[in-house]
Copies of this chain bind each other. A is one copy, B any other.
Amino acid sequence: MKPLVQLLAVEASPPSLQDNTGDLDRLKKALAPLLDGRQPTVPFARMTAVAEAFRRAGFKGTAVMNDLLGGPELVDFLAAPPRVLAGVALDLGTTHLEATLVDLVGGEILARANRPNSQIAFGADILSRIHFAVKDDGLLQLHRAVIGDINRLCEELAGELGLELADLRAIAVSGNTTMVHFFLRLNPYHLCREPYIPLVNAPDPCRAGDLSLALHPAAVVWVLPSVGSYFGGDLISGILASGLDQAEQTSMLIDVGTNAEVVLGSRDWLVACAGAAGPALEGGVARMGMRAGPGAIEHVFFDEQNGVFEYQTIGNEPPRGICGSGIIDLVAALYLSRMIDARGKFRREAAAGRLLETPAGPALVVVPAEEAAGGRAVIIGQVDLDALMRSKAAMYSILTTLVNQVGVGFADIHRIYVAGAFGRHIAPRQAITLGMLPDLPLTTFQPVGNSSLDGARRILLERTSRSRCRELVRKITYIELNVNQEFMLRFSGAKFIPHTDHTLFPSVPFFGE
């Protein structure tokens, strides 16, 4: 384990008339044997602080070193080792920020915090924020908003351990490419314009002071590299966390948010693509969709005998809406109970008693008003079903296009890692029923949790992960789906439950044409 910031206990002989080495030179010289003979550099802004602390401590104590790819950097000196050497791992999400405080010596997670991304005030989705960014001082406003959020997270994390903000010595940031652009105050103009080119994929590390981050001003800011506009550092984190790039057998990583991002490969090769999966799976469904949070229905089962929906909410609270995994369960149940047909349309003969007519078309009552939070029935409308059908079709088309591009079959895939909240909550059985995921043994699917956050933690702790992710970026072949003919064809075939070619899903009941 070679953390991004390292403490080195060091003692130098005090200066004398016989040894007039300068204070900083003396410290560097004493450190060199601990750094494989390499003398560290000292950034200009830290010279005085380091030299004075070294002298004040009597020329012995603890050096604080940033471990950069270019070599060791000396940024602070302490008379005694700190109680905790803390770093922040950050998952920089479009809607949510999640952070952990990590002990850089022991590797443990010391505290957790999260908060909504306050950039939402400038645009709910990425595209609207990009448009906002390129007007006037939009980029600066977006930048300041997210820096403010991170600073509040840092305060919360430090506070929990009784630390000062200056005790936070590093931050590793994992986010999609656009969020990283906002974070680094980089113009996102070309991200959403063909051919979709980032200003930078792999930025060099900078320091907290460069970005007005509230950590120690010399804290390293290490941003996970991206592969393209639609394939960000959060996915690279996922690869690190799943070990996809080190396995002998072919595996797949799926991360579903507003976009579905997929990586396929092994230690020998890696292919990736990303496509719009639609907001249906991320709480964006027209009326009742919500993020996976308290009161969200995360699982639904239809009790055919009693003709009622059994459901489970997050936190066991009265239902307020349905999150992505709940919708998948629900729509699978609707299909199996034949309340919807293979095109995802309500079958009035089967759903009759449960249907409402709304201004937006027919909708089905899942939880009646009297059981639901705020006395507001949880319903799913035809428009919601249509959105889900597009999302699931997109998802399956992305997977098949990718697999087909490299000439492997789904059966060759040893493991499918499913990242994020989607991976944590989804029931693969139901997703297969819908024809969203391929019809493989359920043990193939493995949730990997918030791998974006986990990847950031690895960056804080492991030098191998830092060089590995730089290597990954070079290794991945990215397939652009936005202009892919095959994808378009496959998308049409996938707009049925489970699929126009039902032989692809032998485990799913087929009710005929």
Contacts and interface: CB of A to CB of B under 8 A. Distances in A.
Interface string A175-196: 0000000001111001000111
Nearest to A473: B25
A19 B476 CA distance: 12
B24 A200 contact: yes
A374 B431 CA distance: 102
A201 B44 contact: no
A92 B253 CA distance: 60
Interface stretch (A10-18, A166-174, A416-424): A10-18
Contact of A20 (B47, B184, B196): B196
B22 A201 contact: yes
Contacts of A24: 199-201, 203
A198 B44 contact: no
A41 B204 contact: yes
B20 A228 contact: yes
Given A70-B70, A187-B52, A195-B15, A200 B47 contact: yes
B48 A70 contact: no
A229 interface: yes
Contact of A22 (B16, B20, B198): B198
A23 interface: yes
A202 interface: yes
A197 B70 contact: no
A480 interface: yes
A200 B17 contact: no
A478 interface: yes
B204 A48 contact: no
Nearest to A139: B48
Identify whether the interface residues of A are mostly helix, strand, loop, or mixed.
loop
Copies held by the complex:
2
A55 B207 CA distance: 26
A51 B200 contact: yes
Given A16-B195, A17-B195, A198-B22, A70 B44 contact: no
Given A15-B195, A196-B20, A198-B23, A70 B41 contact: yes
A315 interface: no
A15 B190 CA distance: 11
A470 to B, nearest CB: 9
Contacts of A246: none
A210 B44 contact: yes
Contacts of A194: 17
A233 to B, nearest CB: 12
A159 B48 CA distance: 35
Given A52-B187, A187-B52, A22 B70 contact: no
A70 B42 CA distance: 12
A45 interface: yes
A178 to B, nearest CB: 12
Contacts of A23: 190, 197-200
A207 B43 CA distance: 10
A203 B185 CA distance: 30
Nearest to A177: B22
A44 B206 contact: yes
A360 interface: no
A323 B473 CA distance: 67
A482 interface: yes
Given A20-B228, A20-B480, A482-B17, A42 B195 contact: no
Given A20-B197, A52-B187, A195-B15, A202 B41 contact: no
Contact of A199 (B44, B47, B228, B478): B47
A14 to B, nearest CB: 9
B201 A25 contact: yes
Q: Which 8 A-B pairs have the closest CB atoms?
A: A44-B206, A22-B201, A22-B198, A24-B200, A20-B228, A15-B197, A44-B210, A17-B195
19 contacts: A16-B195, A17-B482, A17-B483, A19-B195, A22-B199, A24-B200, A24-B201, A41-B70, A43-B204, A43-B206, A44-B184, A44-B207, A47-B199, A47-B200, A47-B203, A48-B186, A51-B186, A52-B199, A70-B70
